Amino acid sequence: MGGTQSLALPQVKGPHPVGCADVMVGHTRQGLFLRLFYPCLPRAGAERPLWIPRYEYCGGLADFALLSRRWCAPLLSVAIGSCRVPVSWKGPFKPCSSGYPLIIFSHGLGAFRTLYSSVCSELASWGFVVAALEHRDHSASVTYFCPAEAGREEWIPYQRVPQGQKEFYFRNKQDSVDLTKVAAMGHSFGGVTAVLALVKEPGFSCAVALDAWMFPLENSLYPEVPKPVLFINTEKFQTPESVAKMKRLSSRNSQTKIITILGSVHQSQTDFAFLTGKLINRIFSARGTLDPYKGLDITSRAALAFLQRHLHLEEDFDQWVNLLEGIGDSVVPEAPFCRSNL
């Protein structure tokens, strides 16, 4: 597309139209905030939600990128503020007599609930309800809650590791997710959160970790991970040390799989990969050499095959089971190419 700006997020490929809605439970920072993606009934002229839901998130992204909020936030607002997610805002829920399986999605450091709309809506189109959390532990670029008595939002900024404090212990404390539903999924810091959820909550059957940042997971926890994990890595992010941690898990559970998508970078598994333009690419390093639509196909199909196997679904997602062994175009088993340092 040259230097032109594209604001198109991908259309879903599954058999179900997708709706989404925001859910906020509780009036304190201990409450729950998430965007829910779900199969919905088709509705003509349905409103499509903004991808960046509030201007304040542009400021949060600027802060996370260590750029001046004064000039970067307005530029981001102009560049991506009009982008909409191709799903039905508050579309009518599509009834399902057997009930949809549930995926809890955890974002990476400096992200928030809408930045993985492409993969979340794609999975919803195949018959899942996906709850994309927005964390209030200072790991989001910014978030907010609505105190009952104040009548306005209270915003929570991203928090960097305080000077003089070791990052391992700081980030490990932020990994406090206690979820009770079927499958956990996440990207980067959210990927290791999904793995940790298997330790903390026995209700999870499995986890899908997108380019997991394994650093915060304590060594003592590896023997405690009881369920299978699918690690879907990008080519340019992982280190030998991180992959060694993944292999420790796969050596304990033969159903844990590790694959790498060639031509991808860390941000390839976020929506930024679909937003071309020099500003976005310079700030977020979002473009690998692989076509992002192809990358999304590999990620979602591998996840679907894995989820069918471990959630015991009666679907035909096993048509993509070869991906779990790293067999296919632009995918390889394990992680043959690792950077030596972060």
What the block records as the tokens of 237 is 């992010």
Q: Are 53 and 17 in contact (CB under 8 A)?
A: no
Classify burial at 322, counting beta carbons within 10 Å of its beta carbon; exposed 0-12, middle 13-18, buried 19 or more: middle
Alpha-carbon distance 112 to 141, whole Å?
A: 7
Q: Is 188 assigned a catalytic role?
A: yes
Which entry of 16, 107, 187, 266 is annotated as an active-site residue?
A: 266
H-type alpha helices, 223-323: 240-252, 278-284, 292-311
Q: Is 266 assigned a catalytic role?
A: yes
Which entry of 117, 188, 264, 300 is annotated as an active-site residue?
A: 188
Q: Are 112 and 134 in contact (CB under 8 A)?
A: yes
> How much is the CA Rg of the chain, to the nearest whole Å?
19
From the CB of residue 327, how many other CB atoms can be counted at a distance below 10 Å? 12
Q: Are 185 and 106 in contact (CB under 8 A)?
A: yes
DSSP states along 307-338: HHHHHT--SSGGGGGGGGGT-STTEEES-S--
What the block records as the tokens of 52 is 């960046």
Which entry of 63, 175, 211, 271 is annotated as an active-site residue?
A: 211
Alpha-carbon distance 290 to 130, whole Å?
A: 26
Active site residues: 188, 211, 266
